[in-house]
Amino acid sequence: MLPLRWPLTIAAGVLIAGAWAGRKGHQAEDPPPAPEPTPVAQEPVAPPTPSPDAVHQGPMFPEGLPMASIGLPEGLANPTAQGCAACHGSIVASWKASAHAQAWQGERYRQAVRDASQPEECQACHLPFAAQHPQRVIHHAEGLPDAPQHATNPDWSPSLQREGVTCAACHLRQGQVVGPRGDGAAPHPVAASADLGSPTLCAACHQLSWPESETAWYDTYGEWYRSPFREAGVGCQDCHMAPQAGPVTTGRFAAHAGHAMAVETSQAVSILLELDSPEITRGAPFAFRIRLQSTGTGHAFPTGHPGKTYIVRAAVVDAAGEPMHDPSEDALVRRVQEEPPFALVEDTRLPARGELLLEHEATIVVKKAPGPALLRVSIFDERQEQPLFERSFPVTIL
């Protein structure tokens, strides 16, 4: 009798022989081609965040503003937003509602630059391409920055000029379209650029200092840089270009950056009222305090050019909305000297993530009718009649 291990050995040999025969048969055929590896989309690496003193014009504007040439990529008929709208209609419609689209058309701006003799520094950002300027600066008389000499610009495009800060201002560089991610399948190849999502992109126009300045003329980027928002990794685009769902192109629906640059003041600032009693006696002084808190603003409120002023107005109003006493008013403003060294004169604004306490005393006119009323706090841009937003608190007049 064979030992028990022999059947197992014989069976193993049969299996090995069968496997070898199968292997020989398989080798007689051509091996199938190896599958191509699926390419992995590479997300652009976010660039470092420079300090306000090192921003200059930023990586997206290495030659400064206005940019000398556009460089039309293959696949684009023209560099205007009109051309982009064919495929990106939803995004262009959003952009049309933005301050960027009105950067040159706004009559208030155009009147301001006329009054200031068309300063180059203003025009360079509101019209970021040289082709948007009917006149070009050929040199400055005696080297003085306030004495430019101009010549007719043969490359001027009135179609591009009217669009102000148009699509090409951020998305065309060196003859190619740039986006937050690359796309080789688009009608025009798209190169990825992390700079599009960087606050440094915004700093090119929202941070401005003169060489002899003690303080920045425009300091929006600097205010953000010094705020807790930067420390938390919250940039300009996170609030002003928050993602929204919609058609990115005519054939693709996805989340993308909003281009309306919408600013909702009521989401940026909290108005808290402090009042000793909800009952106010006519003819007797009463005190109230307004606490403004920057709960959602990554820069000062308001921000922008020196002299930009917001008014905080408060009053008890009757059922018809008429004030029952002289309204209180507080100005939120930053002022600098108009001559070098442009020193800071005052700054009463609400700082990023800070708060202001505004204290007032008023007296309801005796002849006013008693009954329910509202203590209304409104915030106005002094250049506009309608409030940016307001809060009303019920009170009773005795």
> Which of the pair, 272 or 68, is modelled with greater confidence?
272
Question: What's the pLDDT band for 34 if we cut at 50, 70, 90?
Answer: low
pLDDT given at position 35: 56
Closest by CA position to 100, among listed 127, 68, 82, 74: 127
pLDDT given at position 10: 31
Measured over the CA atoms of residue 317, residue 322, residue 323 and residue 324, the dihedral's sign is negative
> Which of the pair, 135 or 31, is modelled with greater confidence?
135
pLDDT given at position 141: 53
Q: CB–CB of 164/109 below 8 Å?
A: no
Say whether pLDDT at 29 is over 90: no
Mean pLDDT calculated for residue range 377-382:
96
Q: Whole-prediction pTM value?
A: 0.82
Domain ranges of the chain: 52-257, 265-397
> Which of the pair, 68 or 291, is modelled with greater confidence?
291
Separation CA 178–CA 46 (nearest Å): 15
Say whether pLDDT at 27 is over 70: no
Closest by CA position to 384, among listed 289, 304, 310: 310
Taking all residues of the chain, what is their mean pLDDT, rounded to a whole number?
Answer: 85
Question: What's the pLDDT band for 254 if we cut at 50, 70, 90?
Answer: confident
Question: What's the pLDDT band for 314 if we cut at 50, 70, 90?
Answer: very high
pLDDT given at position 2: 35
Mean pLDDT calculated for residue range 339-356:
94
> Which of the pair, 361 or 341, is modelled with greater confidence?
361
Overall fold of domain 265-397:
Immunoglobulin-like (2.60.40)
Say whether pLDDT at 16 is over 50: no
Highest mean pLDDT among 173-177, 196-200, 246-250, 331-335: 331-335
pLDDT given at position 5: 34
Separation CA 290–CA 60 (nearest Å): 42
User: Which residues, in sequence order, are CB contacts of 58 under 8 Å at separation 6+?
Assistant: 195, 200, 201, 203, 204
Q: What are phi and psi of 27, to 5 degrees?
A: -70, -20
DSSP string, 265-288: HHHHEEEEEEES-SEE-TTSEEEE
Longest dimension (CA), the chain: 127
